[in-house]
Structure 1
Amino acid sequence: MATAARAAAYFQRGSLFWFTVITLSFGYHTWVVFWPQSIPYQSLGPLGSFTQYLVDHHHTLLTNGYWLAWLIHVGESLYAIVLCKHKGITSGQARLLWFLQTFFFGIASLSILIAYKPKRQKQT
């Protein structure tokens, strides 16, 4: 594949470590916000005690934080599309992958795109 074509279709999957951390964290946050009565607090040690305190005293903050986190992910994913254009990524598939990966994994994906430095074509 030519360099220009490769740059136009650039996509890099993020770190499995960060994707796992984010998935587990968002999953736990979802569980805490929507089904707090089903959490086995006493089985989770210090995390369970802390979570129960937050649910009992700051559930509105947890809920607002949950929706704010999703809103931030929407903003990051839209910014990823802008960055794709700025960096010369013109492939629709690559742009969609950046959008989706950034929507679900936020800065763990967006930081890869921000760090990407496409090689500039020499003008003849």
Structure 2
Amino acid sequence: MANRFQSPHLLWWIIIGSGITIVFLLAHLPSLLPLHSLGGLGSFLSSLIVTYRTLFVVVFWSTVIAHIYEAVVARRICQQLRLDQQSTFLWMIQTFILGFPSLMILKGYVRQR
């Protein structure tokens, strides 16, 4: 099969990328966030960090593990579709970063086949 790569809408890149970044910062580097500047939301997040920091760490690493699994699934689908190595690499990286939206586009190619 030819080189077949498609990216999800830019909105997914913004939502998922910023979401994972914020959860990482809340879990591992909360001092980098300007929580004092966010008013009530900042106070709420500060209390969550103090009380449930372990939960943020678990959520972040669970997300990373889920995205690794999705990237492996994307690789298997690319092998089924007989995509070239470059396309497979792009699908795996994109699926690792975005997860579900990328995987759904790739699964759409399987249904068309």
Identify the TM-score tier after normalising by the shorter chain: 0.7 to 0.9
Q: Please tell me whether residue 62 in structure 1 is matched to residue 77 in structure 2.
A: no
Equivalent in 82, 89, 95 of residue 102 of structure 1: 95
Percent identity, aligned pairs only? 32
Match of 1:39 in 2: 33
Mapped to 2, the partners of 1:118 and 1:9 lie a distance apart of 17
**How far is the alpha carbon of 1:29 from its aligned partner?**
1.2
**Structure 2 gaps, min length 5:** none
Structure 1 runs, 4 residues or longer, greater than 6 Å off: none
What is the one-letter code of the residue matched to 2:74?
A: A
Equivalent in 12, 18, 21 of residue 15 of structure 2: 21
What is the one-letter code of the residue matched to 2:92?
A: F
TM-score of the superposed pair, with normalisation by structure 2 = 0.87
What is the one-letter code of the residue matched to 2:16?
A: I
Q: CA RMSD in A?
A: 1.8
Q: Please tell me whether residue 116 in structure 1 is matched to residue 79 in structure 2.
A: no
Higher mean displacement: 47-56 or 23-32: 47-56
Contact 1:9/1:89, CA 8 A, preserved across alignment: no
What is the one-letter code of the residue matched to 2:34?
A: P
**How far is the alpha carbon of 1:72 from its aligned partner?**
0.4
What are the Cα deviations for residues 35-71 of structure 1, in whole angstroms up to 9, with x where unaligned? 1133222322454233223201110011011111000
Mapped to 2, the partners of 1:67 and 1:119 lie a distance apart of 34
Mapped to 2, the partners of 1:100 and 1:14 lie a distance apart of 13
**Structure 1 gaps, min length 5:** 1-6
Bigger Cα Rg: 1
Match of 2:46 in 1: 52
Distance 1:115 1:33, change over 3 A: same
